[in-house]
Structure formats: C-alpha cells, structure tokens
C-alpha cells in the first residue's frame, strides 16, 4: 500500500524533501531487496524512464521554496518530484492563519485537490494521506488546515495522518500562538492522529548529541526526517506474519490511537550522534531499551539529561488506580505506546516487560496498550536504533503554554483585527480555545 504525502508551506516542504532523501538513501545497501521494494512501493512510483518519483504534492503560496525543494531533489540523483505535482503562486499568507485558511485555501482548492487526486490514482492501494506542515505559520498552517478539511470531505474513509512542527518557544512571529491554537483545534477534528515535533527539542538534539556548532534549519529538518523515517519505513508487525507490513498508517493508528479523544502523538528516537562519533560507538538492546523506558516515564525527549529519579508508582504497575496520584508523582501517563526496533540482532531484544505495564489500562479495556515492531535492516547508518511513538501526557506542557499565551493576547484584543479582516471572528477564536482546553483537560485527568 502507498502513502501520498502533502508538503505545505516552507516548513512542510523542507521536511518532506529531507524525509524522501533519508528514505531513498536508507534503501541503498546490501541484503535490502525486499525492504527496498516495500519502501519504494510506499513512497515512490516509477516514471516511464525508470526514475523514482515521490508520491507527494508540494504546496506553497510563494514559488521560491517549492523551486528550491524540487531542484535539490533532482540533484540527489536517486529520486525526484513529479513534473506537475506542485502548486505555488506569487503571494504569500504573511504568517496570517486567517489569510491562508479563508482566502488562499478556498481560492486554490480545486487545483490542489486535483493534484492530490492524481497522486492517489497512481496508487494500487492507498494506505493514507500524510501531511507535513508548521503549526504556527500562515501558508503551512492556514492553507494546510483548509486542504486537510477538503481532503477529509473527499476521502472520508481514508486515513489522514498529520505531522506538525511546533514553533520555538521564543519565536520570531508574534502571532504564532494564535496560529497554533487555530491549527490544532481544527486539525484535531479532521485528522486521525497528529504527530508533533518541537523545534526546541530537536535543536537541543543537534547541539548536545550531534555536536553541531552552527545549527541551521537544514540540520533541524534532517533530525525530524530521520525520526519520521524510523517510523514509516518497512517493519514487521504483530499481524504481518513474517512479511513487511503493507498497511503502515493503519497499523500505526490502531496501535496508538485507541480512543478518538486522544490523538496527540510524540516521538522519541535513540541514538542520535554525529557521523564521526557513530563510527566508534557500539550499542546493545538492553541499554537502549532502558534509556527509552526512562525517557517515556520522565517525559524526556533525548537520552541526555534524563531524570532517573522518576518512577512508576506500584499502584499503576500492579493495575491499581492512577489519575491524580500518578500526576502527583510526576510520571508521564501513557494511553498507548508503539516501540519500533531496527538493526542487528533485533530478534534478541527483550521487550516483553519494558512498556506493557506503564500504560493507563483503564482507558483501554481489553485493548493492548503496547505494540512492538521490528526490522533486521539497520536504519540510516545506525546499526541499532529504537523509536517510541507515544500517546501520552508529554505534550501537555507545550500545549498549555501556547494556549495560555494566546489567551493573554486575545484578552487584550492584540492583533485580532488582522484575523477578523480575513473572516475569522472572535467567536471562532473562542471555539478554538474551548476545543483545546477540552484536549488539555482530557490528557490532564488521565
């Protein structure tokens, strides 16, 4: 089954390019024929000349980013974008969500829908639609949200999986909190799941783990793409019977989105290190899994600086009540977790007791809250790597911060005129705040 990707705005287009680059590079190597065939079926189709063409549509309201993205893909020599699988124009959204959602989105709806339809018709079977965008911009978030709404109407039975990039805490755009609130409140109703990457966290990974001295946007995007690839590349699942899974998005969602009220996903991936250090490093599965478990319960995003004093209360591991007592003990409550192991000797990794006893079983009556996938093929240069996709409370703090900052601005009516002039009313803002407050409440009271 194939995944059709949608890259929207500067952020979405840059991450999408890095993702396809990582995937195409990962498929090169010995003993990877079946693995590569499955990966190519998911993400590429062949042109009449035998070239690999990404199953992706690029959208931006300014031509510069799209042109640069297409050019860089061609230079890779391994793959390219489709000749007409993109849309751009010469007028941006000016970091204004309302301009993107109410003006540019409806104005160019039919063109973008047609581009996506063409890509879907090239698939023998559609696994789902995977969108990449910023949560806080104008085109990426406003236009991206409107397009997602249209796609939900066009393909009501298909999976829609969103990847959102969270802005830096000290962002340069004063209205980024407004944009984030509007994006999240809408996408939560439209998408089957939302996977969030925080720029601040990825920046720390680049600095502290990969020892990059002068961190660029490309460095940040490569880390995000690496993490996404570690989830989306082929793997054996519990239901795949010795074959690589043919329904990656469906099986991912069934593993971690077990309740329609809980759709926010976070991701931990280890190890991360510079290429020079990687050549002299060795890893073992018990060590990787021990770190990953502690990262989960302590809500840490990288293996450096984990709080090892956080533990799971015995009342939770023994099946007792959690809720308030769990929060007082400051451990991260999970609804469901998906562990993906890739690399050498993966069959020897002992995962049975790692995560299965720290999820909130009360929410998931008779549902397995822990799933494990694996692949013996090393991923992206790492002989052993582990990824954890978690539906948990780990995004509560950044979500609460954005809502609080946006509410403070709204209470003083700051910059509201920039939204109302394009059609977003104060009532729309209040509806968005209400929706996000409900999400915060749902996760808080696990």
Q: How confident is the model at residue 348 (pLDDT cuts 50, 70, 90)?
A: confident
Q: What band does 358 get if pLDDT is binned at 50, 70 and 90? A: low
Q: What pLDDT, on a 0 to 100 scale, did the predictor assign at position 434? A: 97
pLDDT of residue 315: 52
Return the domain boundaries, the chain: 2-266, 270-393, 397-444
- Confidence (pLDDT) at 133: 95
39, 32 contact by CB (below 8 A): no
Question: Does 329 score more than 60 pLDDT?
Answer: no
Decide if pLDDT at 355 tops 60.
Answer: no
pTM flag (> 0.75):
yes
* Contacts with 99 (C-beta within 8 Å, 6 or more apart), sequence order: 93, 138, 142, 422
* pLDDT > 90 fraction of the chain, expressed in percent and rounded: 68
Q: What's the pLDDT tens digit per position in 202-241?
A: 999 999 999 999 999 999 999 999 999 999 999 998 877 7
- Give the confidence band of 183 by pLDDT, cuts at 50, 70, 90: very high
Determine which of 61-65, 71-75, 274-278, 332-336 has the lowest per-residue pLDDT on average.
274-278
**The pLDDT value given to residue 323:** 45
Q: Which residue has better confidence, 271 or 29?
A: 271
| Model confidence pLDDT, tens digit, residues 97-116 | 999 999 999 999 999 999 99
pLDDT of residue 318: 45
* pLDDT of residue 152 exceeding 90: yes
Residue 338 has pLDDT above 60, yes or no: yes
Least confident of 1-5, 69-73, 317-321: 317-321
Is pLDDT of 321 > 50? no
Task: Tell whether the model's pLDDT for residue 322 goes beyond 50.
Answer: no
What are the b/e assignments for 369-378, b being 16+ CB within 10 Å? bbbbbbbebb
Residue 172, pLDDT score:
65
Average pLDDT over residues 185-213: 94
| pLDDT tens per residue, range 377-408 | 999 989 999 999 999 999 999 999 999 999 99
The 3-state DSSP class for residue 369 equals: coil
Q: How far is CA 272 from CA 207, 222, 308, 345, in A?
A: 11, 12, 19, 19
DSSP-derived letter for residue 302 is: S
> How confident is residue 438, by pLDDT bands cut at 50, 70 and 90?
very high
- Looking at domain 2-266, its CATH class is alpha beta
User: Is residue 361 very low, low, confident or very high in pLDDT (cuts 50, 70, 90)?
Assistant: very low
Tell which phi-psi region holds residue 145, choosing left (phi > 0), alpha (psi between -120 and 50) or beta.
alpha
Assess whether pLDDT exceeds 60 at residue 245.
yes
Residue 174 CB burial class (10 angstroms; 0-12, 13-18, ≥19)? exposed
Q: What is the DSSP string of 60-97?
A: -SSHHHHHHHHHHHHHHSS-B--TT-EE--S---TT-H
Q: Which helix (H) or strand (E) element contains residue 189? A: helix 176-190
Quick one: pLDDT at residue 239?
Answer: 77
Q: Which CATH superfamily is domain 270-393 in?
A: Tubulin/FtsZ, C-terminal domain (3.30.1330.20)
Q: Quick one: pLDDT at residue 171? A: 67
Give residue for tokens 């984030």: 180
- Taking residues 248-275, report their average pLDDT: 92
The rounded distance, in Å, linking the Cα atoms of 434 and 446 is: 19
> Which of these, 434, 445, 415, lies nearest to 98 by C-alpha position?
415
């Amino acid at each position: 089954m194939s995944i059709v990707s949608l890259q929207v705005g500067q952020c979405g287009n840059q991450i999408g390019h890095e993702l396809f680059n990582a995937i195409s590079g990962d498929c090169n190597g010995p003993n990877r024929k079946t693995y590569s065939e499955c990966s190519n079926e998911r993400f590429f189709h062949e042109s009449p000349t035998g070239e690999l063409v990404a199953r992706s549509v690029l959208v931006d309201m300014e031509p510069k980013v799209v042109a640069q993205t297409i050019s860089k893909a061609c230079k890779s020599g391994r793959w390219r974008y489709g000749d007409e699988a993109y849309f751009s124009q010469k007028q941006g959204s000016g970091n204004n969500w309302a301009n993107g959602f109410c003006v540019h989105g409806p104005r160019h709806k039919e063109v973008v829908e047609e581009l996506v339809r063409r890509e879907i018709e090239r698939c023998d079977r559609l696994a789902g639609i995977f969108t990449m965008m910023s949560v806080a911009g104008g085109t990426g978030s406003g236009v991206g949200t409107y397009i997602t709404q249209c796609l939900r109407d066009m393909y009501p039975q298909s999976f829609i999986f969103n990847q959102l990039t969270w802005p830096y805490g000290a962002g340069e755009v004063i209205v980024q909190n407004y944009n984030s609130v509007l994006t999240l409140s809408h996408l939560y109703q439209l998408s089957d799941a939302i996977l969030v990457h925080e720029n601040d966290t990825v920046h720390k990974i680049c600095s502290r783990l990969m020892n990059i001295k002068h961190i660029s946007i490309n460095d940040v995007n490569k880390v995000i793409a690496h993490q996404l690839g570690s989830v989306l590349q082929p793997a054996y699942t519990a239901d795949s019977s010795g074959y690589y899974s043919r329904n990656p998005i469906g099986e991912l969602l069934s593993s971690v989105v077990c309740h329609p009220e809980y759709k926010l996903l976070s991701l931990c991936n280890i190890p991360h290190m510079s290429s020079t250090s990687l050549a002299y490093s060795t890893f073992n599965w018990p060590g990787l899994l021990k770190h990953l478990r502690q990262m989960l319960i302590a809500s840490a995003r990288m293996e450096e600086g984990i709080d090892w004093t956080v533990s799971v209360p015995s009342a939770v591991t023994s099946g007792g009540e959690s809720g308030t007592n769990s929060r007082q003990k400051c451990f991260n409550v999970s609804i469901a977790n998906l562990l993906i192991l890739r690399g050498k000797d993966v069959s020897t990794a002992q995962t049975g007791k790692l995560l299965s006893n720290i999820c909130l079983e009360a929410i998931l009556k008779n549902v397995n809250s822990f799933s494990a996938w694996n692949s013996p093929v090393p991923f992206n240069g790492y002989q052993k790597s582990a990824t954890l996709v978690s539906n948990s409370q780990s995004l509560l703090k950044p979500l609460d911060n954005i809502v609080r900052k946006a509410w403070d601005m709204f209470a003083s009516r700051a910059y509201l005129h920039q939204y109302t002039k394009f059609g977003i009313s104060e009532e729309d803002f209040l509806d968005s705040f209400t929706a996000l407050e409900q999400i915060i409440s749902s996760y808080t009271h696990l």
